[in-house]
Amino acid sequence: MGLKDRFAGRARAGLATMAAVTVVLYVIEAVNMATAGLLTADFGIRPRDPSSLPDIATAPLVHDASSWNHLLANTLPLVVFGFLAFLAGLRQFLTAVALSWISSGIGVWLFGGSAFGPPTVTVGASGVIFGLFGFLLVRGFLNRSWGQVLLAVVLFLAYGSVLLGVLPTVGRGISWQAHLFGLVGGVLAAVFWGEAISPCKGSPR
C-alpha cells in the first residue's frame, strides 16, 4: 500500500472513530440530563476519595448535566485534535488518549477541589483534549518532522489561548488540574513516540 493510500485510510478511520466517540458522548449526556445528573454523581471524580479512584476511567465520558454547553464546547476541539492525532497512526493516537486520560484523572483526584471547601465532582473530556493538544504541539519537534512542526504552529495560532486553562485563575467551576495534567500526559506521549521513532527516522503504524 502506498503512502497516499495509507494516509487516506487513516483519515477515513480517524473520521469514523471521532464520529463514533461524539455519538457516544452525546448519548451519555442525554442520559445524564434525563436522570438529573445521576451519571455525574456516580461516575465523576471526587478528589482524594478512595472510593472514587475507579471514576478516573469514566469521568471524561460524562459532562455537566445542567445544559449541553459543556459538551458542545468540548466537541469541536476533541474531534479536531483527535482526528489529527489519529493521522499519526492508531498506536500513537491510543497512547496520547490513554496517557492524557490517566494523567488528567490522577491529577484531579490528587489535587482537585479544595481541602477546605465543599466536596467537588469533576467530569468532562477537557483533560483528554488538552492532552491531545499537547501531543500535537510537541511531537514534531521531538521527531524532527517539519510537517508536524508546521501543523503545531498553525494549531498554536488557532487554539493557543486555551493553554491559559492550565492556570489556577482560569475560572470558577473549571478544573485547571484536569487541563494541566492532561497536557502533561499528552506531552509524555509525544516524548515516548519521539524516542520510539527517532533512531530509525521512520513512522510506526
What is the CATH classification number for the domain harbouring 187? 1.20.1540.10
Residue 158 lies in a domain: yes
Residue 202 lies in a domain: no
Question: Which residues in the chain land under pLDDT 70?
Answer: 1, 114-119, 170-171, 196-205
pLDDT number for residue 201: 47
Overall domain count for the chain: 1
pLDDT number for residue 50: 96
Q: What's the rounded Cα separation, in Å, for the pair 142 and 201?
A: 11
The amino acid sitting at 14 is G
Residue 138, judged by CB atoms within 10 A of its CB (0-12, 13-18, 19+), counts as buried
- Print the domain residue range for 153: 3-197
Residue 193 lies in a domain: yes
pLDDT number for residue 133: 97
Residue 116 lies in a domain: yes
Residue 204 lies in a domain: no
How many alpha carbons lie under 13 Å from residue 193 in its C-beta half-sphere?
Answer: 29
pLDDT number for residue 200: 47
Residue 30 lies in a domain: yes
pLDDT number for residue 108: 96
Contact residues for 151 (Cβ-Cβ < 8 A; gap 6+): 84, 136, 140
Using a cut of 0.85, tell me whether the model's pTM lies above it: yes
3-class DSSP state for residue 174? coil
pLDDT number for residue 144: 84
Residue whose C-alpha cell reads 489561548 in the numeric block: 161
Residue 203 lies in a domain: no
| Neighbour tally for 51: CB within 10 Å | 7
**Residues written for the chain:** 205
pLDDT number for residue 197: 64
Q: What's the rounded Cα separation, in Å, for the pair 50 and 47?
A: 8
Residue 19 lies in a domain: yes
